Amino acid sequence: MVYARLKKQSDFKRMFARGKKCFSPALLVLYLPAKETSLGVCVSKKHGKSVVRNRIKRLLREAFRKVCPALQGTYAVILIPKQADKYTLAAFEKSLTAALRREGLLHE
């Protein structure tokens, strides 16, 4: 499934103001119902230098790409990683799936 990207500052502000939050061991997930499925990623400078932050963003986008077909409906989603020693695709995918399933957004 193809998804759009959240890029505008106004979109991010709207999501932070009105979005619903769900937590998991590796992620904070903000979501809102939307016309089309879209993804935004926020990685702060606490996570390291630009090389590390960019790798985290790639891993988060890939984890969302794998989970996206199982979504019920269309949502705008922002993923915010928690600080960790090691960042892996498996950990992000597992945390994202668990958080969305707990909120009832994924097909069983």
pLDDT, tens only, 9-33: 999 999 999 999 999 999 999 999 9
Report the pLDDT value the prediction gives residue 107, as an integer from 0 to 100: 79
Residue 1 in this model has a pLDDT that exceeds 80: no
The boundaries of the domain holding residue 65 are 4-98
Domain-embedded: residue 94: yes
- Stronger pLDDT, 69 or 2, i.e. the higher one: 69
Report the pLDDT value the prediction gives residue 42, as an integer from 0 to 100: 96
Domain-embedded: residue 39: yes
Domain-embedded: residue 104: no
Domain-embedded: residue 66: yes
Interatomic CA distance for residues 102 and 27, integer angstroms: 13
Amino acid at 58: R
Interatomic CA distance for residues 103 and 14, integer angstroms: 20
Amino acid at 102: R
Residue 108 in this model has a pLDDT that exceeds 70: no
Domain count, the chain: 1
Q: Are 60 and 38 in contact (CB under 8 A)?
A: no
CATH number at residue 77: 3.30.230.10
Domain-embedded: residue 108: no
pLDDT digits (tens, 9 = 90+) for 83-104: 999 999 999 999 999 999 999 9
Interatomic CA distance for residues 39 and 57, integer angstroms: 11
Q: Residue 87: how many CB atoms within 10 A of its CB?
A: 19
User: Can you name the residues that pair with 30 across neighbouring β-strands?
Assistant: 21, 78
Q: Is 58 helix (H, G, I), strand (E, B) or coil?
A: helix
Domain-embedded: residue 107: no
pTM, rounded to two decimals: 0.93
